[in-house]
Amino acid sequence: LVHVHDWLSPVSANACTTTEGAIATSMETLHNMIYRGKVPDRPGTSMLATSLSIFRYIVTKTSRHSWSTSPNNPLWFNPTLQELYSLPDTKRWYSKGVKYLCHLYNAQGFKTFHQMSLDFDLPRSYLFHYYQLRHAIRAQFGSLKDPTNLPPLERLLRQPDPNKLVSIYYAALTTDFNPRFSRAQEKWASMDISLTEEDWTEFSDTYKTMVISSGDRVIQVKFFHHSHLTPARLYKMGLKPSAECFHGCGGEADFMHCFWTCPLVQDFWVEVGSFISSALGLPNIIHPKNGLLGIFGDLQISSQAKRLLRILYFY
């Protein structure tokens, strides 16, 4: 990591990094190969390939954030951006200084041609190429919203050269760069379930002890939402003629619809909540974070009552 830090923040006094830059053909190439994942095909680069291979291994083990959406990811000749890889005449963009993912976005999303013209002095003849680029970006990321996100490891590597680099990186590697269940958090958030950091802290701190089968519950949280073959999923796979709910309500049967928002399923949850409330004198709670995830941290009840609710709702 100290080696890669020097590639990202080169210092002219560092003779080793300067030599490596010359081997790679330029300091810019040395910087960009961290994101491209490959070294230039030229003599003398075997040492660079070894360092890069070790770094890529570290990335896969410590970071759940994709480096392909780093704002510093190079746009051209980059295997991580396949849709842009096949664009013709990419040298024209490079010659104008359009080199990195951050150059394409502002606060409103993908820049307009007018804004690009102002930022990079583009002539009117670039308009067609601009539309080609915009189409490729939409195909790559699914929309024109700004996808850039600086991975925690990259943020650490880009800090100004401090003392005790080895100690800092060792401490970082022996701790988690991301909160537990970060991918699950993103997925549940995409389904419009509003969960706070306190909710996830509660879950991650107690999931091993609060129910009979903690393994079942982890599967529920981490995997079930994207592995269940709902009608919507089967429709996208071309295995079903429509995505309509199998209960006949007419709604699109994605995961949340099948397990929560479908009127017939809602009747089930209302009945479950009412029974638990009347039989045990506990609060009548009807919310997906309670029924599907077993999170009850915001209720003003005893820890024993919360544990009982988790068991009853989960099973």
In the chain, % helix, strand, coil (3-state, to 5) comes to 55, 5, 40
Residue with the bigger pLDDT between 255 and 123: it is: 123
Using the structure block, give the residue that is written with the tokens 């699914």.
142
Residue 268: pLDDT over 80: yes
Question: pLDDT, tens digit, for every residue of 73-119?
Answer: 999 988 888 888 888 888 999 999 999 999 999 988 999 999 999 99
First-to-last C-alpha distance (Å) of the chain: 46
* Per-residue confidence (pLDDT) for residue 13, from 0 to 100: 64
Helix (H, G, I), strand (E, B) or coil at 53: helix
DSSP assignment letter at 111: P
Tell me the CA distances in angstroms from 282 to 54, 87, 247, 293, 304, one per residue in order: 54, 61, 31, 18, 11
% of the chain surpassing 90 pLDDT: 19
* Per-residue confidence (pLDDT) for residue 100, from 0 to 100: 94
Question: Please, are residues 192 and 257 in contact by the beta-carbon 8 Å criterion?
Answer: no
Residue 257: pLDDT over 80: yes
Question: pLDDT, tens digit, for every residue of 18-37?
Answer: 888 888 888 888 888 888 88
Reported as a pLDDT band with limits 50, 70 and 90, residue 216 is: low
Candidates 14, 141, 102; CA nearest to 22 is 14
Question: Please, are residues 207 and 214 in contact by the beta-carbon 8 Å criterion?
Answer: yes
Residue 45: pLDDT over 70: yes
* Per-residue confidence (pLDDT) for residue 64, from 0 to 100: 58
Reported as a pLDDT band with limits 50, 70 and 90, residue 315 is: low
Residue type, 193: I
Question: pLDDT, tens digit, for every residue of 245-256?
Answer: 988 888 898 888
Residue 162: pLDDT over 60: yes
Helix (H, G, I), strand (E, B) or coil at 27: helix
- pTM of the predicted structure, to 2 decimals: 0.53
Q: What is the mean pLDDT of the chain?
A: 80
